[in-house]
Chains A and B, each alone.
Chain A
Amino acid sequence: MTTATTTPADVRTLHDANELESRGSESGAVPKAGKLGRRPRRSPAARREERTGWMFMLPFVLLFLLVFVFPIVYAIYSSFFQQVATGGAYGGGEVVNKFVGFENFKYVITSDKFWGGMGRVLIYTVIQVPLMIISALVLAMLIDSFIIKHVGGFRLGYFLPYAIPGVIASIIWVYLYNGQISPIVKGLAAIGIHVDFFASNVVLASMVNITTWTFTGYNMLIFLSALQAIPHDLYEAARIDGANGWQIAMKVKLPNVRGAALLAMLLSIVGTIQLFNEPQVMHTADPGINNYYTPMMMAFNSSRGFLTPKGAGPSNAIAIVMAIIAGLLAMAYAFIERKVNES
């Protein structure tokens, strides 16, 4: 079935190649014309430009290899090893790096702790991401509308929590959640609402609140820049057609920030799967948040020896399995999003 369509194309490519080849040998500029002939010849200026481009890339490429590619390769390599003691009750006074094949991955995949943590993180993502994206969108729409004056102040105010490092934010909130010193808890108690932010069925929501507080402003900025890129002619056209403010927001603005929403959702999903700062900091205040509460915490505490099996092998295996799951989730989300858009 394909022969009819492919043959002419093949012929053309062959023809082009031959032509280039013959031209190359004619000029004699390229010694091994037979191999290089397929590529179009570039002028010395173009080659110089290419080299300049690579020179600009060089610092990035070197650092990228050094701090990104190399550690990942090394992590994958070491996930096939385990440190074990040799002989004696206390070990033989040294540990050996034993190749254990897929043993570490088997441990992760069959570990209740890992899947428990994964479950918590997924629940967390399902609650947190829509909550944050919708609030960010609403805030961005409000700021973009003409209802609000002093846009700069609002924009800065909403974005400010993002400027606070995640760990610091978590520490601040731990104080605000603390049953004995928090003005929030005391204030609520004064009007008859007794709330324990560390209760085992509430604590995940407490973390959701911290993350939402931190990242809503950041996502709002993404939406805001997308909103401001919409040509104003569209609004005018809609208004002439009799649309009111609400209709413009829903029918013109919303469809135009879809791309930004996809980006924000993807970043948020990947980010929330890696939930770490909040539970790790809150663990100090509430030891009931165990040290494998999320897969990231499990990896971290395995590497520190607070969970067994410990060491680089098991903790890298946890990190790798988690990265694969996060990647799959992001892909699945992007795929569904596209399908929905197409229909």
Chain B
Amino acid sequence: MKRNRLLMAGGAAVAALCMALSGCGGGASGAKTGDTEQADPNQKVTITYLHRLPNKPGMTPVDEIVARWNKDHPNIQVKATQFNGNASDMITKLETDVKAGNAPDLAQLGYSELPEAYMKGIMEDVTSEAEQYSKDFAQGPFEQMQIGGKTFGLPQDTGPLVYYYNKTAFDELGITLPKTQDELIAAAKTAAAKGKYIMSFQADESGNMLTGLAGASSPWYEVEGDAWKVDTQTDGSKAVANVFQQLIDAKATSTNPRWDPSFDASLQKGELIGTIGAAWEAPLLMDSMADKGKGDWRIAQIGDWFDNAGKTGPDGGSGVAVMKGCKYKAQAMEFLDWFNTQIDDLTSQGLIVAASTGTAKTPAAWSEFYGGQDVMKEFADANANMNNFAYIPGFASVGASMQEAASKAASGTGKVSAVFDAAQSASVSTLKDSGLSVVE
């Protein structure tokens, strides 16, 4: 009797384990059928969407936006999930999900990640489905969702680099918004003499920001035939290196890493009164300052500081791609076009939308902080002024190696130009390691 009970307990444990295991397995096999079925338009389908929008208090939650869609589209039900990990780890998750056959239908991907995602084969070609929606988006971002003439999704937001500065503090120091390289360096030195910084050299963001600044004048990566031509030591890169080197040598720039608490501390203390940043940093900087300097800050286009002829470059920005294994591409794209054109809702999430179907209104809190400025208008100008930048597969490792060199430059043990040397060798080796050809 006792024995039987033991056997049963053991059996139950095994059964429970099997159930737990098959639970995962079952879900996987359900979504695995990768071949697209010709769907009946009246058929009820479910689309899953993995995003990494902030969803903070005060923003229109993604679930609320999606619920509106679901109410009007009983046949295309969307289930949105927020990715809670590090943004940069999401692509790894998507890769394993596709392998396991349980990837979402739609997923957010940064423009710089798209070539990597393409190389890994985790996206669906939706060129024909996307065609009809191209008119809803600015051309530049729409092209960022394309590789080799094929389209893989629709753009969501952009990250043009702009200049944030505290106008009141500038006035107190008697400096004006610099227009040229010389003016910038002179103003930085004037401010530094009073213990203030109007520029920041952010080692941890160097892979994004310095790339964008350098890319404002000319590309780093070009395709020749079936091979890559890599030149990260362009004139644009040299100009960026030169300016930051002068600023670092003169101790006229902050060198706190962007995501270290010291960066926020220097903003709050009023020490850092100007910095280049991506457009999506507008609400982040507000958060960092927590009402300090409210109304004093302004946003401006980056001057002609890096021989970039008034152009700016991208830092971040992302789109939503259709993942491999999506059964209902047409429906997924229909939803995606609707979602990515919900300008007000996405603006509330802090995005500078890529949609061109309407004009984004500046949220009240933003215009209050930025002295009544029409922030969205400024960003739209920056967008129009932005050079597209083509990235290579495996760009993440290039950014990482730039960080290391930039950190040496920040501490004075290295030169800023070494950042671009590091980018060159890392670009070439990541391409070669992935089995891609490089023209030397």
Contacts and interface: CB of A to CB of B under 8 A. Distances in A.
B426 A308 contact: yes
Nearest to B438: A89
A179 B115 contact: no
A304 B89 contact: yes
Contacts of A93: 118-119, 121
Given A85-B393, A95-B119, A285-B260, A200 B3 contact: no
B7 interface: yes
A287 B406 contact: yes
A287 B407 contact: yes
A30 B136 CA distance: 83
B118 A91 contact: yes
Interface of A: 48, 51-52, 55, 58-59, 62, 83-91, 93-95, 98, 174-175, 178-181, 200, 284-288, 290-291, 301, 303-310
Nearest to A55: B10
Contacts of A180: 256, 261-262, 265-266
Interface string B240-273: 0000000000000000110111100110000000
B204 A87 contact: no
Interface of B: 3, 6-7, 9-10, 13-14, 17, 88-89, 91-92, 115-116, 118-121, 147-148, 203-204, 206, 223, 225-228, 256-257, 259-262, 265-266, 393-394, 396-397, 399-400, 403-404, 406-408, 410-411, 413, 426, 429-430, 433-437
Contact of B10 (A58, A284, A288): A58
A65 to B, nearest CB: 11
Contacts of A86: 435
17 contacts: A55-B10, A58-B10, A59-B13, A62-B17, A88-B226, A89-B225, A89-B227, A90-B118, A91-B121, A91-B436, A200-B411, A287-B404, A290-B403, A290-B404, A301-B400, A305-B116, A306-B399
A17 B376 CA distance: 92
Contact of B396 (A83, A94, A178, A304): A304
Given A48-B3, A89-B228, 18 more contacts: A59-B17, A85-B119, A87-B226, A90-B115, A90-B119, A94-B121, A95-B434, A179-B262, A180-B262, A284-B259, A285-B257, A285-B261, A287-B203, A288-B404, A291-B403, A306-B88, A307-B400, A310-B433
Which of A288, A301, A305, A309 gathers most chain B CB within 10 Å?
A305
A83 B393 CA distance: 13
Contact of A178 (B262, B400, B413, B435): B262
Which of A51, A84, A180 gathers most chain B CB within 10 Å?
A180
A243 B6 CA distance: 57
Name the prevailing secondary structure of the B interface residues.
helix
B393 A90 contact: yes
Contacts of B404: 287-288, 290-291
A303 B400 contact: no
Given A86-B435, A95-B119, A284-B257, A308 B394 contact: yes
A266 to B, nearest CB: 33
A181 B121 contact: no
Contacts of B257: 284-287
A246 B53 CA distance: 64
A91 B435 contact: yes
Given A62-B14, A95-B120, A287 B393 contact: no
Given A91-B118, A95-B119, A55 B6 contact: yes
Contacts of B396: 304-306
Contacts of A303: 92
Given A287-B403, A287-B407, A306-B400, A91 B393 contact: yes
A44 to B, nearest CB: 11
Given A305-B396, A308-B397, A310-B433, A55 B7 contact: yes
A175 B121 contact: no
Nearest to A285: B260
Which of B10, B89, B227 gathers most chain A CB within 10 Å?
B10
A32 B315 CA distance: 77
B336 to A, nearest CB: 21
A85 to B, nearest CB: 5
Contacts of B394: 305, 308, 310
Contacts of B430: 308, 310
A175 B433 contact: no
Which of A59, A84, A85 gathers most chain B CB within 10 Å?
A85
Given A180-B266, A305-B396, A58 B13 contact: yes
A85 B89 CA distance: 21
B405 to A, nearest CB: 10
Nearest to B437: A89
A90 to B, nearest CB: 5
A201 B147 CA distance: 45
Which of B118, B228, B408 gathers most chain A CB within 10 Å?
B118
A288 B228 contact: no
Contacts of A91: 118-119, 121, 393, 434-436
A288 to B, nearest CB: 4
